[in-house]
Amino acid sequence: MLLFVGLGNPGREHAKQRHNIGFMALDRIAEDHGFSPWREKFQGLLAEGRLGAEKALLLKPQTYMNLSGQSVGAALRFHKIEIAEVVVFHDELDLAPGKLRVKHGGGHAGHNGLRSIHQHCGEAYARVRMGIGHPGRKELVSGYVLHDFSKYDAQWLDDMLRGCSDGAAKLAAGDDAGFMNAVALRMAPPKPKKPRPAAQTAPPSEAPPLSEAQDEPAPSNPLDRLRRHFS
């Protein structure tokens, strides 16, 4: 069994904020893949379903970002899921808006939700790093991640979320490349090929009608030509 975790903060006031992109990804997956309704469990909201051949749980911790590991740890212990079977969807300041990467293990890079999961569960889990960009200065980060996505972000954000849903079964099967390809196809779909123009063929030119003088070949004998001229 797999556990997909989306990171964010509970409450309507946080629903559209950059920090909640992990929640948004799981909502899209749950809707598109026919998961069960969300129910309260493990200090979070839980949905159950299948991604391809894999049985999966979706978890949105409701502990606020800084305590996300409490909810994840409770789910792992109850279902006896190994940390390697966990995939966490989260916002990533170090990637430009619209960029996405998959990472296995490693540090938390200062992300408070990942930091909490490290503390409660360990670090050997997969992450889907969903780029939101950086405000430019460290002191601006808190306000930036707790601010709603702008209208400018709407198109790429919807494409990224749909791409995550499109590739969710690939991700569940361990096919990171297939998952990334599904996202890429949403973010930058191939342009339709333009039909090649039909070959232009010039209409056959019509030969001008023969004049009366051209009806018959001109005589070659000078006397015959003179006789014909006065006839």
3-state secondary structure of 10: coil
Which candidate, 102, 221, 96, places its Cα nearest to that of 157?
A: 96
Amino acid at 156: W
Q: Closest by alpha carbon to 5, among 58, 43, 46, 63?
A: 58
CB atoms within 10 A of CB 38: 17
Neighbours of 11 (CB within 10 A): 11
**Could you confirm whether 79 is annotated as catalytic?**
no
Per the DSSP assignment, residues forming a β-bridge with 102 are 128
Indicate which residue of 19, 33, 90, 111 is catalytic: 19
Q: What are the residue numbers of the active site?
A: 19
